[in-house]
């Protein structure tokens, strides 16, 4: 791979224009830490694009919001061996990327998945900050309780996903909302021995973190345990030290969920 430069030196729109006008074929990559965007080009057209969970034109537009990263290119004459997921020409994509890329990247960074949870914040430090709340905003705000994730808010509000994302991003930027990381990925193990309990045992540091969320300031009595295949159970909870990323579950819950020792599960608190 040949290094082209960095995104603080070059504008991605200029790079794409040059590659398009030169009818380049190959793989253009942008790498920033653990994040990578991959654009596959053929004869100056972007044929396929991906950036983490983002695919197609959404991945291309998101790249216009990146502030840093290294650009590399691997020439390839043959067409990409993947199905095309980008269909607009480079000129059109560059124009739209320059218009909306930065805001899209901000939304994708703040809301990396529909499992993210928001709650009301203390408010902006500057008393002069004001914001307008209309019907769309209110249908979203009234559902933010520190428990419902973005997926649940979209379903309950009846507001389209892009609009929900916009409201969450705008009000978070203004200081009226905050993202809370209530859902955790933990390793599941069965309770064993004479002192096995009928509760889900979780590290007490998670209790301390969860109770900083407004919805759970009085404590966490139960957790929802959800497997990677979507099966779930609600279990009474107790806390102790030194469990780190482990959750110890009653054996019947392990069996009900079809879990093996050490399987990863999604865990979130419930009142």
Give residue 77's pLDDT band: very low, low, confident or very high (50, 70, 90): confident
Give residue 192's pLDDT band: very low, low, confident or very high (50, 70, 90): confident
- Domain 117-180 classified CATH 1.10.10? yes
Tokens 């499992």 found at: 115
What pTM does this model have? 0.72
For the CA atoms of the chain, what is the radius of gyration? Answer: 23
Which DSSP category does 216 fall into?
G
Identify the architecture of domain 184-270 in CATH.
Beta Barrel (2.40)
In 79-208, the DSSP E strands lie at: 117-120, 177-180, 184-190, 200-203
State the CB neighbour count (10 A cutoff) for residue 128. Answer: 5
23: left (phi over 0), alpha (psi -120 to 50) or beta: left
Nearest to 70 by CA among 13, 15, 6: 6
| Three-class SS state of 57 | helix
Determine the average pLDDT of the residues in 232-237: 94
In sequence order, which residues have a C-beta less than 8 Å from that of residue 168 and are 6 or more positions away? 110, 111, 118, 140, 150, 177
Give residue 46's pLDDT band: very low, low, confident or very high (50, 70, 90): very high
| pLDDT digit string, tens, across residues 148-165 | 899 999 999 999 999 999
Annotated domain spans of the chain? 2-110, 117-180, 184-270
With a cut of 90, say whether residue 127 has pLDDT above it: no
**Per-residue pLDDT at 195:** 56
């Amino acid at each position: 791979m040949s290094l082209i430069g960095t995104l603080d030196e070059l504008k991605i729109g200029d790079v794409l224009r040059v590659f398009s006008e030169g009818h380049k074929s190959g793989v253009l990559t942008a790498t920033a830490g653990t994040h990578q965007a991959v654009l596959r080009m053929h004869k100056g057209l972007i044929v396929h694009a991906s950036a983490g969970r983002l695919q197609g034109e959404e991945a291309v537009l998101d790249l216009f919001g990146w502030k840093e990263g290294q650009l590399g290119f691997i020439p390839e004459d043959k067409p990409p061996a993947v199905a095309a997921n980008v269909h607009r020409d480079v000129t059109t994509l560059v124009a739209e990327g320059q218009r909306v890329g930065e805001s899209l990247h901000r939304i994708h960074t703040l809301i990396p998945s529909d499992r993210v949870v928001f709650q009301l914040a203390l408010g902006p430090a500057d008393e002069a900050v004001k914001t307008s709340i209309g019907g769309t905003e209110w249908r979203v705000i009234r559902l933010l309780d520190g428990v419902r994730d973005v997926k649940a808010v979209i379903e309950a509000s009846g507001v389209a996903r892009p609009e929900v994302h916009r409201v969450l991003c705008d009000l978070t930027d203004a200081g009226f909302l905050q993202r809370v990381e209530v859902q955790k990925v933990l390793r599941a193990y069965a309770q064993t021995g004479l002192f096995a309990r009928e509760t889900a045992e979780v590290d007490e540091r998670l209790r301390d973190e969860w109770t900083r969320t407004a919805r759970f300031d009085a404590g966490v009595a139960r957790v929802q345990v959800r497997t990677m295949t979507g099966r779930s159970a609600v279990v009474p909870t107790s806390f102790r030290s030194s469990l780190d990323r482990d959750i110890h579950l009653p054996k019947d819950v392990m069996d009900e969920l079809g879990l093996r020792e050490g399987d990863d599960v999604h865990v979130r608190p419930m009142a």
